[in-house]
Amino acid sequence: MILCILQARMSSSRLPNKVLKPILGEPMLWRQLERVSKVKSIDKIVIATSKDKSDDIIESTFSGSPYQVFRGSLDDVLDRYYCASQKYHADHILRLTGDCPLIDPNVIEQLIEFYLANGFDYVCNTEVPTFPDGQDAWIFKKALLEEAWRESKLPSEREHVTMFFRNNLDKYTTGSFENKIDLSKHRWTVDEPEDFLKVEAIFKSLYPSNKEFTVQDILKFLNDNPDIDQLNESFLRDEGLIKSLKNDF
């Protein structure tokens, strides 16, 4: 069983409450889930949020929706994932983050196919960045998550679910899912107000006529609208991870 665990919280330091900011009348997180739900290989989608009071609104917002809400540790995200995987009896875990509302279901589907066809323990499309920032996905066997949960000691390994795998690549059979064309310069994630403005503009332009717009559709729109494309070009990729790694020492 492939369990998609999508981590989300309200207490983002750079853009608080971003996951519920409205896009075309629905929370940003709903827009992402709407896209992820098109991935046929996924058996169940779970929103993994924290037990912190600030995240009560995430649970209430998605109560009665097709998506399960699991609540765990705020800071130990690895523990949150492990406990969710135990509850829902996963064989494989697809990890997604709630700051990627433009993620393309086709990218996820192809990543899963690559993982299963080659019998890898762990596959991601971020180790060698070739997709736009905001198309990030990771998939791994439940046994790896259990090992990481038992052995991870560094703060970055507890906060960033797959960091233990990255630190121990020689222990596993791993695959890097890469795009044919390097599109890593593009930033479609949402961490800053400018990121949100860009994503909102993309949805407003593409969604009404094509709810399942793709990476190629976005690229064409941004090529035709360079002013929108440049809204967030000053920000670095993986700023949150860089900050977290500094806290290990």
Q: How far is 239 from 129, CA to CA, in rounded Å?
A: 15
CA dist 154 and 34 (Å) reads 34
Chain center to CA of 236: 17
Distances (CA, A) of 85 to 33, 117, 153, 185, 209: 19, 22, 20, 33, 37
pLDDT, residue 169, reads 87
- Low pLDDT (below 50) residues in the chain: 245
- What secondary structure does DSSP assign to 6-38, as a single string? EE--S--SSSTTGGG-EETTEEHHHHHHHHHTT
**Alpha-carbon separation of residue 119 from 17, 85, 115, 135, 141 (angstroms):** 38, 20, 6, 22, 10
How many residues in the chain? 249
Position 92 scores a pLDDT of 98
31-66 per-position pLDDT tens digit = 999 999 999 999 999 999 999 999 999 999 999 999
Position 245 scores a pLDDT of 47
pLDDT digits (tens, 9 = 90+) for 115-137: 999 999 999 999 999 999 999 99
Report helix, strand or coil for 209.
Answer: coil
Please report, as a single letter, which amino acid is at residue 93: I
Q: How far apart are CA 18 and CA 29, in angstroms?
A: 9
pTM greater than 0.85: yes
